Amino acid sequence: PILKALSTHEIIELDNDHEIRCFKNAIIGLKSHKDFDIDPAKPPFGNSLRNFTQFVRNAYSLEREKAIKLTAQDKRKPRLLIISRTGTRLLVNEDEVAAEAQSLGFDVEAVELMNELRVCSKRVNSFDVMMGVHGAGLTNMVFLPENAVLIQVVPLGLQWLAKAYFEHPAKDMNVEYLEYKINKNESSLIEQYPIDHPVIRDPSFIKKEGYGKFKSIYLDSQNVRLDVSKFRGVLLEALQLLHG
């Protein structure tokens, strides 16, 4: 759908194309302004990440332009999607978090988004709030309706990545952004290192030793167990944002 929406010309799959084709000119490759954002001040000028999400909703025929707008007497339940992860940066007590959200009035689903994009896009678009531990799964926010809420759970040491990859883009998409920065007791790293070890005490020190080492510890070897009583406040804030 994306390629068809971008061009009126025939889409050619080069892997299955055996013809010799001649063109007067061609643009090869993609241009990137940032890791996950668009700068309207740069070519092609005037386009923003909000324009892109509108384009995506049109390309995939997504039904919802806006998230739910709750009123004081509203009995509707806002829908909360928890992005499940396998392998790294697991939310160990996902079931507890889901139960807490349900107790506050959310309709909750916990899903690992692995489906074909056409299916995935429609599923994500049906939610009003999306939350997950920092990772690629949060890029599915491009399918959220405007004024939805993104909650990013930020593991130990990853604040600098969290801001660049998801906080700034969310605002440019007209998606409300909340984050929950875990403390050392909510990280599985506390079970692997002494409390006064630089890994726990000073992640910036580990970063200076090289990205490879930093990644192997904070991205590849860390799981999260949220303090549900503390996280409740973030869920309540998300509800408040949906009330406007």
Q: What's the CATH number where 106 sits?
A: 3.40.50
Alpha carbons 174 and 139: distance in angstroms, whole number:
14
Contact 153, 134 (CB under 8 A): yes
Strand ordering across the sheet containing 79-83: 107-111, 79-83, 129-133, 149-154, 176-181
Residue 128 has pLDDT above 90, yes or no: yes
pTM of the model: 0.88
Full domain range(s) for residue 131:
79-243
Provide the number of structural domains found in the chain.
1
Residue 224 has pLDDT above 90, yes or no: yes
Q: Could you tell me if residue 234 is inside a domain? A: yes
Q: Could you tell me if residue 196 is inside a domain? A: yes
Query: Which pLDDT tens digit goes with each residue over 5-62?
Result: 877 788 888 888 888 888 888 877 777 777 778 888 888 788 888 999 999 999 999 9
Q: Could you tell me if residue 32 is inside a domain? A: no
Q: Could you tell me if residue 47 is inside a domain? A: no
Q: Could you tell me if residue 16 is inside a domain? A: no
Higher pLDDT, 66 or 45: 66
Q: Could you tell me if residue 218 is inside a domain? A: yes
Cα angle: 193, vertex 196, 202; to 5 degrees: 90
Residue 169 has pLDDT above 80, yes or no: yes
Q: Could you tell me if residue 51 is inside a domain? A: no
Q: Could you tell me if residue 197 is inside a domain? A: yes
Alpha carbons 117 and 3: distance in angstroms, whole number:
13
Query: Which pLDDT tens digit goes with each residue over 74-121?
Result: 899 999 999 999 889 999 999 999 999 999 999 999 999 877 889 999
